[in-house]
Amino acid sequence: MTIKKSKIVGLEQVVVRFAGDSGDGMQLTGSLFSDSTAFAGNDFATFPDYPAEIRAPQGTVAGVSGFQIHFGRKTVYTSGDLADVLIAMNPASLRANRKWIKEGAIIIVDYDTFTDKGIEKAGYTTDPCLDGSLDGFNLIKAPISTLTKDALVSLNLDNKSVLKSKNMFSLGIVMYMFNREIDLVSKYFETKFKANPLVVEANKMVLAAGFNYADTLEVLGSTFKVEAAPLEKGKYRNITGNVATAWGLMAASERSGRELFLGSYPITPATEILQELAKHKDLSVKAFQAEDEIAGIVSAIGASFTGSLAITTTSGPGLSLKGEAIGLAVMTELPLVIVDVQRGGPSTGLPTKSEQSDLLQALFGRNGDAPVIVIAAQSSVDCFYSAFEAAKMSLEHMTPAILLTDGSLANGSEVFKIPRVSDLPKINPPIVQANDPNYKPYRRDPEKLNRFWAIPGTDGLRHRIGGLEKEDGSGNVSHDPMNHQRMTLLREEKVMRVANYLPDQIIYGDENADLLVVSWGGTYGVMRTVVEKMQKQGKSVSLAHFRYIMPLPKNTEALLSKFKKIVVCELNNGQFVKYLRMSFPQYKCEQYNKIQGLPFMVAELEEKFNALLKH
Peptide bond between residue 346 and the one before it cis (omega within 30 degrees of 0):
yes
Q: Which amino acid makes up residue 24?
A: D
Q: Where are the alpha helices (DSSP H) in 57-97?
A: 91-97
Predicted pLDDT at 218? 74
Give the burial class of 1: count Cβ atoms within 10 A of its Cβ; 0-12 exposed, 13-18 middle, 19 or more buried.
middle
Q: Give the Cα separation of 120 and 342 in Å (integer).
A: 35
Predicted pLDDT at 184? 86
| 237-422 matches 515-614 in fold | yes
Q: By the 8 A CB rule, do 247 and 384 touch?
A: yes
Q: Give the Cα separation of 390 and 401 in Å (integer).
A: 6
- Phi, psi values for residue 567, rounded to 5°: -125, 130
Pair type for strands 336-342 and 101-110? unpaired
Pair type for strands 548-550 and 373-376? antiparallel
Q: Give the Cα separation of 517 and 541 in Å (integer).
A: 7
pTM: 0.94
List strands edge to edge, sheet with 400-406. Answer: 286-289, 260-264, 309-314, 336-342, 400-406, 373-376, 548-550
At the topology level of CATH, where does 237-422 sit?
Rossmann fold (3.40.50)
Q: Give the Cα separation of 350 and 52 in Å (integer).
A: 6
- Dihedral, CA atoms, 533, 535, 541, 544, nearest 10 degrees? 70
Q: By the 8 A CB rule, do 270 and 242 touch?
A: yes
- 3-state percent breakdown (helix, strand, coil) of the chain, nearest 5: 40, 20, 40
Give the bridge partners for 108, in sequence order: 87, 140
Give domain 8-225's CATH superfamily: Pyruvate-ferredoxin oxidoreductase, PFOR, domain III (3.40.920.10)
How far is residue 409 from each of residues 239, 361, 554, 570, measured CA to CA in Å?
Answer: 10, 19, 27, 15
List strands edge to edge, sheet with 413-417. Answer: 138-142, 101-110, 83-88, 13-21, 64-72, 43-49, 413-417, 236-240
Closest CA to 593 of 603, 585, 605: 605
Measured in whole angstroms, the distance separating CA 412 from the mean position of its chain's CA atoms is 6
Domain ranges of the chain: 8-225, 237-422, 515-614
Q: By the 8 A CB rule, do 14 and 224 touch?
A: yes
Give the bridge partners for 140, in sequence order: 108
Q: Give the Cα separation of 140 and 134 in Å (integer).
A: 11
Q: Where are the alpha helices (DSSP H) in 524-569?
A: 524-536, 556-560
* Alpha-carbon radius of gyration of the chain: 26
List the chain residues with pLDDT less than 70: 1-6, 54, 219
- Dihedral, CA atoms, 51, 54, 60, 65, nearest 10 degrees? 30
Measured in whole angstroms, the distance separating CA 111 from the mean position of its chain's CA atoms is 34
Measured in whole angstroms, the distance separating CA 327 from the mean position of its chain's CA atoms is 27
Helices 144-151 and 197-215 pack at an angle, to 10 degrees, of 130
Residues 6 or more apart from 172 whose CB is under 8 A from it? Answer: 182, 206, 207, 208, 209, 210, 211, 212, 213, 214
Domain 515-614 has CATH 3.50.50.60: no
Predicted pLDDT at 6? 53
CB atoms within 10 A of CB 235: 9
